[in-house]
Amino acid sequence: MFGKITYKKVKLPFHYIKEEVDYDAGAISIEAFGDIDGDKIFLYMTFVLTNSYMYDNGDYDEMTKILENSQDKKVDLILKYKKNKLVGFELEQGTLVDSMNDQRFDAIEFLCSSISNVSKK
């Protein structure tokens, strides 16, 4: 009846997803992607600024430009499985800060995520 939940850590490349609705809300979306369990999977995540001042002082624009220009960067994720099926994931704490080498990425909080076999880019 209840399937055992298991977790697996992975490191995957990612890219910034530029969406107009994100800009208006002060949100940042990224998509990690790669071969997971034999399938090409896209893990989409949206975050929001924890301090609206960062939007007003230009930090938000700088952060999105850094993400737009990032290449060959990777993030650490924790994949969640139930009955051997991928059902969720989390971005590991601090991995975006480390990958981008910018402490401002510590000032965002998770909003939503999705798993797909099609990229949002």
Average pLDDT, the chain: 94
The full set of domain ranges for the chain reads: 5-116
Give the tens place of pLDDT for each residue, 19-59: 888 888 889 999 999 999 999 999 999 999 999 899 999 99
Supply the pLDDT for residue 52.
86
Higher pLDDT, 70 or 46: 46
Rounded to 5°, angle at Cα 74 from 84 and 21 = 90
Instruction: Return d(Cα 32, Cα 77) in angstroms, integer.
Output: 9
Please give the average per-residue pLDDT across 55-76, as a whole number: 94
> pTM value?
0.92
- Which residues, including other chains, have CB under 8 Å from residue 74's CB and lie 6 or more apart? 11, 12, 13, 14, 99
